[in-house]
Amino acid sequence: MFKHLLIGFLLSHPLLQSGDAALQARDYTAAAAAYQSYLETVDSSAHAALSGLARSQALAGNYDAALSSYNQLLTLYPDDLDARFGRGQVYSWQQNFTAAEADLQAVIRQAPDYADAWQALANVYRWSDQALAAAAHFSAWQTALPDAPAPWLAQAEWELARRQFTAARSSLAQAEQRGADSDTLSRLRTRLNRLPGALPWEAQLQYSFDAFVAEQTPWHSLNAGLQYTFDQGAVALQSLSTYRFDRWDQAIAAESWLDLWPGAYGNFRLQASPVASVLPRWDGLGEIFQTFGDWEVSGLYRLMAFPAAHVHFFSGGLGTYLGNWYLRAQPMLFLSDEGPGGNVTLWARYFFDTADDFIELRAGLGRRIAIVGAGPALQGQTNAFGLLTAQHFITPHIGLIGSLNYNYDDAFADRYGLTLGTRLRW
């Protein structure tokens, strides 16, 4: 009876209570100080104080001190799986992946239902880029906890990080069948559909050449851009130069891809060419995408402001992912002084092993507003086109892109085009 009262008194000691409160408030320095004071003045081997001290030090980023505290804790309490798990996490944060793997595997062997240990070991394999070990780990995790969504969500995160987006979609479907949190599923699917950049920075350079069947001066364009990717999206600056109707025009543009509400992301672009004689003076676009599982719908508005006229575009889109395929239909309506018109574009993109390597076919038919001369001169035209694009990254940092296109317009002879470009990431 006295022993139980003594334990209760010690656990309710003001220093322990102060440490627990500071830890909950994420004031890790104050928490560590309170636990350390308890160990020095009350009980140097108290489990609660040693555990709190180690955890506070680890969360504060004081990894060497945290390892010392966890080692002391495990010397006194060798069967403490929470302490072994904590030490394994600290090892992983220090990138001591061999030691981290040993601790976390020991926890899993003794407690196969210790979900946090499975997750932490998955992080070890992801951070150390151990593909074979990760595959074996996910399989074992899924076997040990067959009804849990966590192993499938972790596998989807792994596949997303490796840009294996098709496999990630399959893993998310498995997680959904096992009752995964809808907000988590929506967040991951939004990232997948937005096609995030592989590395923070990307530079782009593209040259396009368009030739006409009849005698007409070819068109040229040169585009350069710099893009920065962050967790919630990407922003880019672009420079465009185009040669049409025997004159050059230049423009600059800013573009962004941003996560919005759950399951939604947007693409926003503004282009300016104040002294252009061919390009619009202002060209602004906003498109919102909403995901529903492997489907997504979109709505777009675009304004092209020319000196003598404004052209308004309205569009909706419906796309879906089927295995390695992305299929999309996008009808569009335009309003201008030339009258209303509309067209529809169909897309089919096939992804290879990663989202960076693909081949895409687009085809469209309908009426559009065409720039038929300098000034610029605008005219509504019947149009049909086809576009074949391929992209391949020869290393994780260097990618090549190329496309072939065909265009038919009432005002011009048939036009054929070639685009070549490169992408550099770091």
Ramachandran sector of residue 255 (left: φ over 0; alpha: ψ -120 to 50; beta: rest):
beta
- pLDDT in the model for residue 378: 74
Helices 115-127 and 97-110 meet at what angle, rounded to 10?
A: 160
Asked: is 201-425 a CATH 1.20.1270.10 domain? The reply is no
Query: How far is Cα 49 from Cα 30, in angstroms, rounded to an integer?
Result: 13
Report the Cα 240 to chain-centroid distance in Å: 26
Return the ∠ at Cα 9 (arms to 6 and 12), rounded to 5°: 150
Give me the residue spans of the domains in the chain.
2-162, 201-425
Q: Do domains 2-162 and 201-425 have the same CATH topology?
A: no
φ, ψ of residue 327 in degrees (nearest 5): -120, 140
Between strands 358-373 and 233-244, the pairing is: unpaired
| Burial status of residue 225 (CB atoms within 10 A of its CB: 0-12, 13-18, 19 or more) | middle
Per-residue pLDDT of the chain (426 residues), as tens digits, is 434 334 444 456 888 888 888 888 889 999 899 888 898 898 888 898 999 999 999 999 999 999 999 999 999 999 999 999 999 999 999 999 999 999 999 999 999 999 999 999 999 998 998 989 999 999 999 999 999 999 999 999 999 888 888 899 999 999 999 999 988 998 888 888 888 878 899 999 999 999 988 778 899 999 999 999 998 899 999 999 999 888 899 999 999 999 998 889 999 999 999 888 888 999 999 999 999 888 999 999 999 998 888 899 999 999 999 989 999 999 999 988 777 889 999 999 999 988 899 999 999 999 887 777 777 777 778 889 999 999 999 998 999 999 999 999 887 788 999 999 999 999
Query: How far is Cα 209 from Cα 52, in angstroms, rounded to an integer?
Result: 66
The model carries a pTM of 0.74
Are 31 and 22 contacting, i.e. CB atoms less than 8 angstroms apart? yes
Q: Homologous superfamily of 2-162 in CATH?
A: Tetratricopeptide repeat domain (1.25.40.10)
Give the dihedral of Cα atoms 189, 186, 161, 180; nearest 10 deg: -120
Query: How far is Cα 266 from Cα 383, in angstroms, rounded to an integer?
Result: 28
Length of the chain in residues, anyone?
426
Helices 63-76 and 81-93 meet at what angle, rounded to 10?
A: 160
- pLDDT in the model for residue 1: 41
| Burial status of residue 406 (CB atoms within 10 A of its CB: 0-12, 13-18, 19 or more) | middle
Are 314 and 332 contacting, i.e. CB atoms less than 8 angstroms apart? yes
- pLDDT in the model for residue 191: 84
Element (H, E) at 219: strand 219-230
Helix (H, G, I), strand (E, B) or coil at 94: coil
Rg (CA), the chain: 29
- List, in order, residues 6 or more apart from 59 with CB less than 8 Å away: 23, 26, 28
Would you call the peptide bond into 262 cis, given omega within 30 degrees of 0 as the criterion? Answer: no
Helix (H, G, I), strand (E, B) or coil at 133: helix
Between strands 295-305 and 341-351, the pairing is: unpaired
Query: What residue has token string 């003598």?
Result: 308
Q: What is the DSSP string of 328-392?
A: EEEEEEEESTT--EEEEEEEEEEE-SSTTSEEEEEEEEEEEEEEEETTTEEEEEEEEEEEEEEEE
Query: How far is Cα 383 from Cα 5, in angstroms, rounded to an integer?
Result: 87
